[in-house]
Amino acid sequence: MKPAADVLSDLAQMSNVAVHSDSGLVGSVAAAAAEDDEKRKEKENEALRRKPDLQPISAKEGGSLHLAPWNVLHTLGRAIALARRGAGRGLAEHWGSLKYSQALIGGSTDYMRLSAEGRETAEHYKALQSGELGIGFALALAEQVLSQRHPGHLVSIVPADTALRAGWALNSRDKGPRSGYRYRPRFFAEVWKPGAESLVFPIECRGHHGNAAASDDQLATASAHVEAVHIGGWNGTPSLVFSTELPLDGPLTVHALQSKGEGGRLSRHASSPEGALDDRLEDKNIYPGIQPPPDGDETQPPVPGFHVKPEHYGWFRRVLARTTAAGLTAFAGDGAATLQYLTKRQGQRHFAGFAHAAAGSVQDAQGEFLGIPCVGTDHVFRLNRTRVEAFSGVAEDLFRHLEAGRVEQYRNEVYARRATWPRETWDHEWWGPVSVHPDGSVLAMRVLP
């Protein structure tokens, strides 16, 4: 059993992550999609509507990924802070990322892979581990690709189900006209800067413990999920699909493809005042369905999915910004600050009132990490019999804006500081791994003194 101090040191070690995206992958995924369509035809099921013309991501943008395991856990924790899947009722979901504290190993000259514990866990919880770690690696790569492609912009990751629920009823528990369509992306990436239009990419990410052929199948299915959301014109919304291969023996690999398009743009209009992001949201009831272009003079019936039309652009931009703010305040453990950003259908009630024992979260911790004063929440648990403390939160000055509902001011200030955040992965004052994201969020862990 490795000492906890050694585990924390391993978490801060930078490592390489293999990325696969080429024309061969495009062909393999197309073949997997065709085979799936043939099986559906034999069962008299309708073929899936998938993103046409998937393409590789350029080697310049996504040819390699260099990060520490702790950065991956931070990315995963931020992504699932609004997941609402466990007994924490959505207030402490992000601590679930810490169960992978011993799952990954690597080094400055090595490719990251599963550790002995990660391999053992995979024998019992394959789908859970591969799916959640797949989120962490895919979103880290997505942020790198989009940041390089759009310099001078920030990239915010937004859980798609939470965002879509502000406008559409996704299942029988939601009030409103239901879509009845189970295919939808897992996340949106909003590429933005103050005063400019946002560009939105639907993202689907999966993972497995098999071989590369399993990624072909996952990417073929993922292309149907990202096709379910159109922003603007028909089939013009760019998207990203990922499948992370986590073999029991050998380095892990992120398989990635993209679709390009001129859509996905949430343009700003004079009718949208500068402070609109600070205005509270109410649930809309947008009728589900995507309108295809006419066939000659004939209007085509809508196809299943979710269509963000030009009249929705300002509203959807506000949904994405406020859902991002909710994820940050939830990551900092502040339920009261979180519920102001969500509608009833988005899960407002999950951030008020009772939380189960050992599953709640309270914003009452503070500290300085790599020179940044932060506020947030803490969690104490045992790591190989040693008591350790984890902290998650946000830079204090930025959190105060979010706490007060000042989304526009938060975005202006975090944008101004985008190039100033420290890149170190170890804080010698805190004496443990620390990860700082461009959104001002911080995740840290140490052995309790």
Segment 151-171, tens digit of pLDDT: 999 999 999 999 999 999 887
Amino acid present at 8: L
**Token pair listed for 428:** 């010698």
Rg of the chain in Å (alpha carbons): 21
Mean pLDDT value across the chain: 91
Question: Between helices 69-79 and 313-331, what is the axis angle to 10°?
Answer: 120
Region 210-226 average pLDDT: 96
Phi, psi of 258, deg, nearest 5 = -140, 160
Distance CA 357, CA 285 (A): 36
Distance CA 113, CA 250 (A): 6
The SS3 assignment for 17 reads strand
Instruction: Say if residues 260 and 55 touch (Cβ distance below 8 Å).
Output: yes
**Residue 433 confidence (pLDDT) above 50:** yes
Which residue has better confidence, 30 or 60? 30
Where is 68: in which H helix or E strand? none
Distance CA 233, CA 210 (A): 37
**Token pair listed for 311:** 């009249």
**Using one digit for the tens of pLDDT, what is the confidence trace for 131-151?**
999 999 999 999 999 999 999
**Token pair listed for 445:** 């862990």
Instruction: Return the domain boundaries, the chain.
Output: 7-333
**According to the model, what pLDDT value does residue 353 have?**
62
CA angle (88, 390, 419) in 5-degree steps = 105
- Can you say whether residue 394 is alpha, beta or left, with left for phi > 0 and alpha for psi between -120 and 50 degrees? beta
DSSP summary character for residue 427: E
Distance CA 395, CA 372 (A): 6
Distance CA 62, CA 49 (A): 27
**Using one digit for the tens of pLDDT, what is the confidence trace for 310-356?**
999 999 999 999 999 999 999 999 988 999 999 999 988 877 765 55
| Pairing of the two strands 386-395 and 426-427 | unpaired
**How does residue 86 score in pLDDT terms, banded at 50, 70 and 90?**
very low
Between 64-68, 87-91, 213-217, the lowest mean confidence (pLDDT) is in 87-91
Instruction: Say if residues 413 and 398 touch (Cβ distance below 8 Å).
Output: yes
Distance CA 301, CA 234 (A): 13
Q: Tell me the pTM.
A: 0.94
Instruction: Say if residues 392 and 377 touch (Cβ distance below 8 Å).
Output: yes
**According to the model, what pLDDT value does residue 354 have?**
54
> Which residue carries 């899947």 as its tokens?
85
Q: Concatenated DSSP letters for 131-162?
A: HHHHHHHHHHHHHHHHHHHSTT-EEEEEEHHH
**According to the model, what pLDDT value does residue 425 have?**
96
Distance CA 255, CA 173 (A): 35
Which residue has better confidence, 210 or 357? 210
Instruction: Say if residues 388 and 380 touch (Cβ distance below 8 Å).
Output: yes
How far lies 315's CA from each of 175, 266, 279, in Å? 19, 9, 10
> Which residue carries 């000055």 as its tokens?
397
Distance CA 431, CA 448 (A): 10
Q: Concatenated DSSP letters for 162-208?
A: HHHTTTSB-STTS-S-B-------SEEEEEE-TTS-EEEEEEEEEEE
Instruction: Say if residues 21 and 257 touch (Cβ distance below 8 Å).
Output: yes
Region 380-408 average pLDDT: 96
Instruction: Say if residues 443 and 392 touch (Cβ distance below 8 Å).
Output: yes
